[in-house]
A and B are shown apart, each in its own frame.
Chain A
């Protein structure tokens, strides 16, 4: 059996942020793929560059941040070329995105039904009534009860979990093949988190969509994803196409540290190790380029341990 083709391919992505007149490398040497129909988790602490990576795909980088080299290919075509024309044509229909905070990512003064279908209406000749019907169908599909009553509600009339479902309904409205998820459960209660994860599982199996799932919750990745990339300080430190390998036998000390920070229900009762230090802020980071990754086996690579930002961390901590 051959491996499925890649729907999304990152190659040597470098992103630079301009802060107070100086350029800082925010992301360097990021290369990974999302295989057709698969889900990859992109894991890291806050500020590790995982959300920036997602926004680079969508062309939603802040004005002081730019991609300086590398490519992001969707179905083999570079999204960063031709001034974003190709990207514009696949947004919504090919790639869509679910944001972290449903309470700020939905337009507060627009009916949710309209927000779910407005991009669909723009691309098709659905009339008002048909669009409303479609919105109700989509709301039903993402598990919103009484969609006929809810379709004319405004976001502030909905709970956080419901708002997140609305956003997911909008994200699948145009039938995308890849959904980018930017910590979609972080702002939600734990029980709601589980429901949303189940919803993503359902969408994966029903719609055959591929996912690139950004989170700092490695447990969510374990439940939902096939592949994982661990980021630290704007660099990938370890990534593997078969997620089980990293859980049973993490190679990079940072990955080990991350895994040891998760409480286990079946493990011995002990103090959680946690991480000694968080990553240095962008302006304090090492500006040296990321060293090439080493391949342990096909589909499994790690960064050299002695990469300097990490070095600081290991030398001053008790993790060795």
Chain B
């Protein structure tokens, strides 16, 4: 298992390097000059040049690139052009809500999807199966911000259980204010998760090893949970990984709907202000998040499937 982990992490190094380079290049390919945004109307060329010099934008691009890489190794992502604060500090401030949101969102997704998947697999082609697949189609057809808005309407305005938005002050308030957005994200995960899990659970139920398990006289519960679901969830974990990867980007929308001061709004403001270091830092963080999620997916996969572990 340790060898497996080391191998996986080693494989990630070129990926991470590629992401860093791509982020840097993208920033410089984006049109617009931050100095113009910063200085407002009719700036003098001298003022622009001075700012460029201050931000290091007048150096050759290759030097800027090496400065950037060097900075990364020392944990220096530069400073925001507008906030007078280092990027690292800003990210440390904005990342926790997003991380929690992703975590709780996937948790809710799994909690919703698992029982539905087993239930529909066992009652294949029966009423409940059709009902759930209809529900899936409806959810899939609704934009996630709409589900979020509906959630606010019903569970924050009509029945005021949850806050309408924001992030609160104390840790408990943080957690409480993330419940509704997390459920929204979880619901968004349900359709694909249920579908893929249901298919693989049905496949397991039809397999010879389930027939053999039944022939040993195991109770239905054990057959469903320890054989059908346990084996079916192996392919489900890959789907979940990919989806949670997407979530990193999807949280941008949800954070907006629920006014959560996370990475999503941070990135948005950075883009609108042409605050290069902010955009760079935020993009890099999102990319790293995705890489981390994929790594965790691989690890979870290996934990569930010994065949992956021993290869």
Chain A residues positioned under 8 Å from B207 (CB to CB): 104
Instruction: Say whether A110 faces chain B, with CB atoms less than 8 Å apart.
Output: yes
Cross-chain contact A96 with B216 (CB below 8 angstroms): yes
The stretch of A74-82, A166-174, A263-271, A309-317 in contact with B is A166-174
The verdict on A170 contacting B307 (CB below 8 Å), with A99-B211, A105-B209, A122-B222 known, is no
Give 13 CB contacts A-B under 8 Å.
Answer: A91-B214, A92-B215, A97-B215, A104-B208, A105-B212, A107-B231, A108-B231, A109-B230, A109-B305, A110-B230, A118-B218, A119-B216, A156-B310
Q: Which of B208, B222, B234 contacts A109 (CB 8 A)?
A: B234
CA distance A115 to B216 in the complex (A): 10
Instruction: Say whether A138 faces chain B, with CB atoms less than 8 Å apart.
Output: no
CA distance A50 to B176 in the complex (A): 61
Instruction: Say whether B226 faces chain A, with CB atoms less than 8 Å apart.
Output: yes
Instruction: Say whether A3 faces chain B, with CB atoms less than 8 Å apart.
Output: no
Assign chain A's interface to a size class.
Answer: 20 to 34
Which residues of B line the A interface, CB within 8 A? 207-209, 211-219, 222, 226-227, 230-231, 234, 304-307, 310
The verdict on A96 contacting B215 (CB below 8 Å), with A101-B208, A104-B208, A105-B208 known, is yes
Q: Which residue of B lies closest to A180 (CB)?
A: B215
Instruction: Say whether A221 faces chain B, with CB atoms less than 8 Å apart.
Output: no
Q: Which of A60, A107, A123, A167 contacts B227 (CB 8 A)?
A: A107
Chain B residues positioned under 8 Å from A109 (CB to CB): 230-231, 234, 304-307
Q: Which residue of B lies closest to A92 (CB)?
A: B217
Q: Return B176 CB to nearest CB of chain A, in Å.
A: 38
User: 5 closest pairs, A vs B, by CB?
Assistant: A92-B217, A91-B217, A119-B216, A97-B215, A105-B212
Chain B residues positioned under 8 Å from A273 (CB to CB): none
Instruction: Say whether A209 faces chain B, with CB atoms less than 8 Å apart.
Output: no
Cross-chain contact B212 with A97 (CB below 8 angstroms): yes
Residue among B215, B219, B307 with most chain A CB within 10 A? B215
Which residues of A line the B interface, CB within 8 A? 55, 58-60, 88, 90-93, 96-97, 99, 101, 104-110, 118-119, 122-123, 154, 156-157, 167, 170-171, 173-174
Q: Which residue of B lies closest to A55 (CB)?
A: B211
Cross-chain contact B216 with A88 (CB below 8 angstroms): no
CA distance A97 to B212 in the complex (A): 8
Cross-chain contact A107 with B213 (CB below 8 angstroms): yes
Residue among B216, B231, B304, B305 with most chain A CB within 10 A? B216
Cross-chain contact B212 with A106 (CB below 8 angstroms): yes
Chain A residues positioned under 8 Å from B227 (CB to CB): 107, 110
Q: Return A59 CB to nearest CB of chain B, in Å.
A: 8
Chain B residues positioned under 8 Å from A110 (CB to CB): 226-227, 230
Q: Return A155 CB to nearest CB of chain B, in Å.
A: 9
Cross-chain contact A99 with B212 (CB below 8 angstroms): yes
CA distance A170 to B305 in the complex (A): 22
Chain B residues positioned under 8 Å from A104 (CB to CB): 207-209
Q: A60-B215, A173-B216 are in contact. List 7 more A-B contacts (CB 8 A).
A: A88-B217, A92-B217, A92-B218, A99-B211, A119-B217, A156-B307, A171-B216
Q: Which residue of B lies closest to A89 (CB)?
A: B217
Chain B residues positioned under 8 Å from A105 (CB to CB): 208-209, 211-212
Q: Return B234 CB to nearest CB of chain A, in Å.
A: 7
Q: Which residue of A lies closest to B221 (CB)?
A: A122
Q: Which residue of A lies closest to B211 (CB)?
A: A60
Q: Which of A58, A91, A106, A171 contacts B209 (CB 8 A)?
A: A106
The verdict on A107 contacting B209 (CB below 8 Å), with A118-B222, A118-B226, A122-B222 known, is yes
